[in-house]
Structure 1
Amino acid sequence: MVGRLVFVHPTSGELFYLRMLLCHQKGCTSFKDLRIVAGIVYPTFRVACNALQLIGDDVEWLTCFTEAAMWATASQLRSLFCHLLIFCKVSNPLSAKSAVPSKSMSDFGLPVPSLDVTGVLRNRLLLEEMSYDKEQLRQQHNNLIRKLNHHQRLVYNNVVSSIDNNRHVLIFVYGHGGTGKTFLWTTILSHLRSIGNIALAVVASGIASLLLPPGTTAHSIKILIDLKNKKSCDIKKVPSLAIFYNKQHSYYGTKHQ
């Protein structure tokens, strides 16, 4: 007889599904018995849980959250909820949230955030691009711009002028290692972000992305390019990325390159 089962975090993999089977499979005398469903021996505990319809449609995450709500503190539940969202691919976060009693800001007479604000908070990409310390970037820009040489200043003025005049430009800057390309990009980025613009620092390789603050690779950000001849820029079902691009183009227009 099993008197008590300790809590297992949902990110523990097979151990989590083993615990789930122990709560539902009866008369088992071995780990193999736990994996037998309707006479079929399944290869893993997770597959066995799936055969018993214990997982899918966020059932396992809802069960985990409901059990934890009986003993965990409020801060522990919030931490668990965040871990579920980040690591467990919860398809419907509201289903886990509704497992325990919750309150809204309106219940306490507080103003409810607008849809624009909550939309930004739900979108990690957009939130990251709008959470820079503008005053710190402004000071950084003022310090860097004084150190630009003549050629760097020409590129800087061309980029800033194109944005101020709402003009699309394609600028190619070439230089050997150590000639100040990264320094130039950092100066431009600090200026654009200090005035509230969105500037995506996109490079070809992962190593190069470490040099820009912060940089990312082209394949991870999935740049939208106007491709013809039956080609397309594929963005899979990642709502935050789609909302990020839609927000960027509709709200900021063409002034952000």
Structure 2
Amino acid sequence: MHGPCGKFNAECPYMVMREGKKFCKHKYPRSFTTFTKHGKDSYPTYRRRATGESVRICGIALDNRWVIPYNPYLVATFDCHINVEVCSTIKAVKYLYKYVYKGYEKISVSISHEDETHSVDEVERFLSGRWVSPPEDAWRIFAFDLYDMQPLVMPLQVHLPNKQSVCFNASENLAHVVHSESKAKTVLTEFFSYNASHPLEPKKRSKVIGRLAFVAPSEGERYYLRLLLTCVVGLCSFDDLLTVNNKLCSTFHEATLKRGLVEPDDLIEQCLDEAIEDYACKHPNEPQKVLALTARAFEAFLENVGKSLTHYGLQHLYKDIDVPFHQTRDIANALDAPIPSSCLEARSLLTCEQRAAYKCIIAHVKQGKPGSFFIDGPSATGKTFLYNALYAKVRLLNKIVLPTTTSGIAALNMSTGRTAHSRFKIPNDCGDCLSCNVGRQSSLAALIKEASFIMCD
């Protein structure tokens, strides 16, 4: 009989209180059953025949419904009460699943003589190394699900109002497709309809949301819609998402701002305001010049990433602005570079040979004529001295000079001097690329076009 000590009374530890009455926590007495059969979750319901026989223990009549399943052999062998009721459940398969269905593991090894050559049939090796048990074979043949998830989770399509994707056949009438309510239904619209037709508490409604499709912040309004769906409960329509404090917002971005879900993204405007204030202090009563300087500063930042104001459709910032303000940062730096006094003095200290070369080169620069000149001479004969004099004269003509050298040490002897590799982006390893890394729309390209004189020492 059921009971740890052969007694069935109020002191039995298996007794529990339920609705003011005492019951056995093992759900005894069980029901009479003619045959043993599987019950819920595959727990067996053992046969208990109604024979009419019963015994009285502690004044209570107990029949077959109170008898626990037992094995006579085990009871006689161990001389004690042993419950042999099956306590397994079909849910145990969840534990075995990862071993049964995670796939096989094998290593293919081939041993042969070093002089022996033979072809390897990888497909045959794969098939011969795989083993499928009969239960898995039958399960796959009948296309049964190999896994299940409870509760069911599915992605929630995120789309703006009336901008959902519609699928239709090529033979369908487009007018009928456009006006069809069934075609316009999506998971999101049905989610709204479900909430509207089930007057549940808002907290319970939020549990209906499963996994939302990922939306990047760069998608704008669609991203803010997804943010509202994840943070706001009790949603029955798009207007519910747009309504904040009983006021309907015009955009989802505005709704997220008023709900405090995002911070105002006005850093760019603040940066431009600060830049305008700096230029306004330096150039009071010159609003056009302040606008031009601000636009040029903004253009300088874009040049670092190979862009321009025109690329973003902001060329109107240059409207009615003088040509000098269209200059790129590199051009402005080249025109604003100081002229050392030593270079200015060098013009009046040239020798006869140096002065002949000086006049010939400057004549070409003034007339804008193309030309290539080679200055030759032994070391310490004044070649660099001549270059500095040429630099000073061209700069006094308000033209651009690009002094370059073959080494960094030599560049120190020339005003604004730089190595040719640094100035013209010449690759150090010519095996990888034979062209200079100068973009067609870059600031360096514009500087080279505007240059009137290039020196290479």
Indicate the TM-score class for this superposition, using the shorter chain for normalisation.
Answer: 0.3 to 0.5
Larger Rg: 2
- Give the structure-1-normalised TM-score: 0.47
Name the structure where strand makes up a greater proportion of residues.
2
Structure (1 or 2) with the greater helix fraction: 1
Q: Which structure would you say has the larger RCO, counting Cα contacts within 8 Å and 6 or more residues apart?
A: 1
- Normalising by structure 2, report the TM-score: 0.28
